[in-house]
Every structure is written in structure tokens, then in C-alpha cells.
């Protein structure tokens, strides 16, 4: 039995986000994509991610806007999303256990799938890749 606690406050969100993105930045597959896009703006990106997850998980409405547009033209494929999800899940499982930890993994999975399908949609000139 693990003695990990659940996500319960902003400090936990910051620990999650900082730990996750430290791994992302060093990853051979997705690190270059993130580092190229974000460049020297990591502090601002991390602050935005704190607010995003604080809004999603703690229902403290500190994030506004649409998370998809900055991702619309990224050079990513399905394996990038799979790796992102793998790192996210590993990070959660190493740090937390409980209802909100599971909710975070579910929300991340749903978001990754949606982003992948939207990116493919725009790459195909606005056509759904399920269409002929």
C-alpha cells in the first residue's frame, strides 16, 4: 500500500507541473518540440500550466483562454502524444494517489486525444481523416 497523498492544493499542482515539465524538457522525443516552441519563456509557460491545472482539478478559476491554439501547428505525431501521456502518468503515479490524481490522468488523456485529432484535422485542410 502506498502512502502517497492526493492532489489537494496549489503547491501540489506546482509540484506536478514542475516535475512533469522537467522530464519533458529532457526527453529525447518531445523535449525538442517543447523547447523549440517555448524557448526562453518557460517561467511564463509553467505559470500558465499552474493556472490551467488549478482550474481543472481544484475548481479555482484562475485560467482563462483556449489551450489548443498554441498547439495547432506543432510538428507532432501520435507517438509524441503517447510519450507526453506516458510521462504525465509516470509523474502523477510517482507523486500522488487518489481521486484528483486519477482525474488528472483522465483529463490529460482526453486532452491529448482531442489535441491529436484537432491537429490532424487542420493538417488535412479542415477535413476529418475519417472522411474519404
What integer best gives the mean pLDDT of the chain? 90
pLDDT computed for residue 30 by the predictor: 96
* 82-126 pLDDT per residue, tens: 999 999 999 999 999 999 999 999 999 999 898 888 888 877 776
pLDDT computed for residue 51 by the predictor: 96
The annotation places the binding site for heme at 71
* 58-91 pLDDT per residue, tens: 999 998 887 776 766 677 888 998 999 999 999 9
The annotation places the binding site at 71
pLDDT computed for residue 131 by the predictor: 54
* Domains of the chain as residue ranges with CATH: 10-123 (1.10.490.10)
Q: What is the mean pLDDT of residues 2-21?
A: 97
Question: Which residues touch 93 (CB under 8 Å, ≥6 apart)?
Answer: 101
Helix (H, G, I), strand (E, B) or coil at 7: coil
Helix (H, G, I), strand (E, B) or coil at 91: helix
Give the global pTM.
0.87
Contact 62, 51 (CB under 8 A): yes
pLDDT computed for residue 97 by the predictor: 98
Amino acid at each position: 500500500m502506498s502512502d502517497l497523498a492526493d492532489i489537494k492544493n496549489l503547491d501540489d499542482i506546482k509540484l506536478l507541473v514542475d516535475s512533469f515539465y522537467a522530464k519533458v524538457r529532457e526527453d529525447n522525443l518531445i523535449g525538442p518540440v517543447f523547447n523549440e516552441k517555448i524557448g526562453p519563456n518557460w517561467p511564463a509557460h509553467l505559470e500558465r500550466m499552474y493556472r490551467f491545472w488549478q482550474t481543472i482539478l481544484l475548481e479555482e478559476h484562475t485560467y482563462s483562454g483556449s489551450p489548443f491554439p498554441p498547439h495547432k501547428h506543432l510538428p507532432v505525431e501520435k507517438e509524441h502524444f503517447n510519450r507526453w501521456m506516458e510521462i504525465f502518468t509516470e509523474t502523477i503515479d510517482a507523486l500522488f494517489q487518489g481521486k484528483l490524481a486519477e482525474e488528472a490522468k483522465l483529463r490529460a488523456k482526453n486532452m491529448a486525444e482531442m489535441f491529436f485529432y484537432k491537429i490532424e484535422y487542420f493538417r488535412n485542410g479542415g477535413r476529418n481523416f475519417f472522411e474519404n
